[in-house]
Structure 1
Amino acid sequence: MLNRFCIILLCLLLLAACGEPKTTGKLQKVGLLVPETVNDQVWGTKGFKGLLKIQSKFNVEVFYKEGMNSQAVVEQAVKEFDQKGVNLIFGHGSEYAEYFNNISKDYPNIHFVSFNGDAKHKNTTSLNFKSHAMGFFGGMVAAHMSNTKKVGVLAAYEWQPEIEGFYQGAMAEDKDIKVNIEYVGNWDNKQKAIQLAGEMMNDGVDVIYPAGDGFNVPVIEQVKERGLHVIGYVSEQSDLGESTVLTSTIQQVDKLYVKVAEQFNNGKLHSGNLSYDFQDNVISLGKFSPLVSKEFINEMNRQINHYKKTGELPK
């Protein structure tokens, strides 16, 4: 149903653009590559929404391809995009930095944008969310709301900055809190994630941070069945249960895509690795559950505003 809706919406937006004047800047047409699907309700969906917002704001044609998970298929997709006149391509994941580094010299008229990688050429850019603070504030909420004084992080990989941030935030809120950290070793291994989450809950953990966009939705559903709580990840996930999702650590990919497209259109998009945080208004906490007191919500908002102004986290 979501796939059909997305296709219909995209078609309507494209049809609406017909006959209208095109953007007067550098932006011509935009392409999006995703490793899995745009219908995952988390990371892929947010990238797709960003693409649609670009189409709407700049009145340009947009294209997307799913299942772009190898150098060969990416090369073929870029070739097709180039033939269509695309001059800005988003690779929706860290793997695209290497793919784009390998082929960007062959397409000097295209600017390639990836996530959380290392962009090495003048027409490549990598966008990096500075997610330590995001995890920190999520950890504060988890520790404050835990009744058992046991919270858990279910991460994809050890290198995720939000994991250390969550630990530090939980400890800053409650020095007696115990933080259980487990690694799935993959963004999409739902079976292993569900198994580890079950073990955490059996061990007394009552708030879990499922920090993997490919597995966090089924983990949230599992936690909901147990009547326990989570901190949502990447997108606003309160719609999965206000009594389950205490808040969400949101990376506003769609808003960042529009920002990047605007910079490119104005000839101001820099190559290399660019970082974004709360101060750039593309990272935030989401809605708070009704279970969270207004007093604590006000304190969290105060602390976030302080961080945005000074870069200082609570101690």
Structure 2
Amino acid sequence: MYRPFAIIIIIFLVLNTLVGCSQSNSSGQLQKVGLLVYDSINDQVWGTKGYQGMLKIQSEMDVDVFYKEGINTIEATERTVNEFVENGVNLIFGHGSEFAPIFNTIADQYPDVHFISFNGEAKKDNTTSLNFEAHAMGFFGGMVAGEMTKTNTVGVLASFEWQPEVNGFFEGALFQNEEVEVKIQFVESWDDKETALLLLDKFINDGVDVVYPAGDGYNVPVIEKLREEGLYAIGFVSDQSDLGEGTVLTSTVQHVDVLYELVAELYNDGKLESGNLSFDFKDGVISMGQYSSSVDLKFQTELEEYIKEYTESGLLPNQIQ
């Protein structure tokens, strides 16, 4: 899923992480697009998804796109935004909640630029925050964990307490299996691999046999260790079945690339709203990933029926009378 980056990155490195892909042929408001990534586009989870979104915009809309990694300070953000604007960029994605307050601060300096962040609070007319309705995806991931656990003990290894998928996973696991115990630990970072692996050791010692690693930089190492231990994982953000079909039962997938293109099209058509916008299964930007052959086909069918009902009604299985 991720291997095509190698060829493309070689081409792009000519411009030292500030990348232009094609001549802009947009017929609407969109001129060029920029992406700020807090850490790396090579994490195989969140950063990678943002980069794929840029490639989708470039491919489908035939406009120049730029990106820059390691933008993790206010000064770096301001400097890169200015570079982008000097290159004609008028739609800028800050790939994370970290960028929302900075964009609110600097937005007035660039009235002809629209700033996009994720899971934050957009307060200016030319700022928008995109929010995935992660509670539901966590719920359905939790159902899989509750179904597949052999020890009746599952765990969420989340980055932060505010993540909606944490409570969702808890509720889904209990809906599917009233006997299950759900353990929760917080890494307090998206990327701290060392802490995540220490917390995973605690899970394993406590008998947890299905783990939902809801973070970015530590997600893959956690799944790799679970594979070594013969335990199960629920993948996060990307379809992570390629990390071990027998280990990754399924994944809660956020189709960031699809959302990026949707937002770019809305902006191009003059229809992009400011403020905080939410997206869910019904918008085609969240889905379950590939199921492991370990997951019973009857249960897969039942789960997909629940997802269909939720998509149509907005009600999770535990909310239906």
Q: Indicate the TM-score class for this superposition, using the shorter chain for normalisation.
A: over 0.9
Q: What does 1:46-65 correspond to in 2, within 5 Å?
A: 46-65=49-68
CA RMSD after TM alignment: 1.7
Partners of 2:301 and 2:11 in 1: how far apart? 38
Deviation at 1:108, TM superposition (A): 0.5
Partners of 1:118 and 1:15 in 2: how far apart? 29
Partners of 1:298 and 1:3 in 2: how far apart? 34
Q: What does 1:1-315 correspond to in 2, within 5 Å?
A: 4-8=6-10, 10=12, 17-18=22-23, 22-315=25-318
Question: Which amino acid is 1:162 matched to?
Answer: E
Structure 2 unaligned residues grouped into runs of 5+: none
In 2, are the aligned partners of 1:10 and 1:52 still within 8 Å (CA)? no
Structure 1 unaligned residues grouped into runs of 5+: none
Question: Which amino acid is 2:307 matched to?
Answer: I
Deviation at 1:17, TM superposition (A): 3.6
Deviation at 1:199, TM superposition (A): 1.3
What do residues 167-221 of structure 1 show as CA deviations (whole Å, max 9, x unaligned)?
Answer: 0000000111011111111111100100111111121110000011121100000
Question: How many equivalent residue pairs?
Answer: 312
Change (3 A) 1:186 1:4: same
SS of the residue aligned with 2:72? coil
In 1, are the aligned partners of 2:96 and 2:119 still within 8 Å (CA)? yes
Change (3 A) 1:16 1:218: closer
Question: Which amino acid is 1:189 matched to?
Answer: D
Partners of 2:261 and 2:238 in 1: how far apart? 17
TM-score (norm 1): 0.96
Partners of 1:9 and 1:230 in 2: how far apart? 35
In 2, are the aligned partners of 1:2 and 1:39 still within 8 Å (CA)? no
Which runs of 4 or more aligned residues in structure 1 lie more than 3 Å from their structure 2 counterparts after TM superposition?
A: 1-4, 8-12, 14-18
SS of the residue aligned with 2:251? strand
What do residues 11-55 of structure 1 show as CA deviations (whole Å, max 9, x unaligned)?
Answer: 89x89845xx71111110000000011111111111001001101
Question: Which amino acid is 1:194 matched to?
Answer: L
In 2, are the aligned partners of 1:232 and 1:248 still within 8 Å (CA)? yes
Question: Which amino acid is 2:181 matched to?
Answer: K
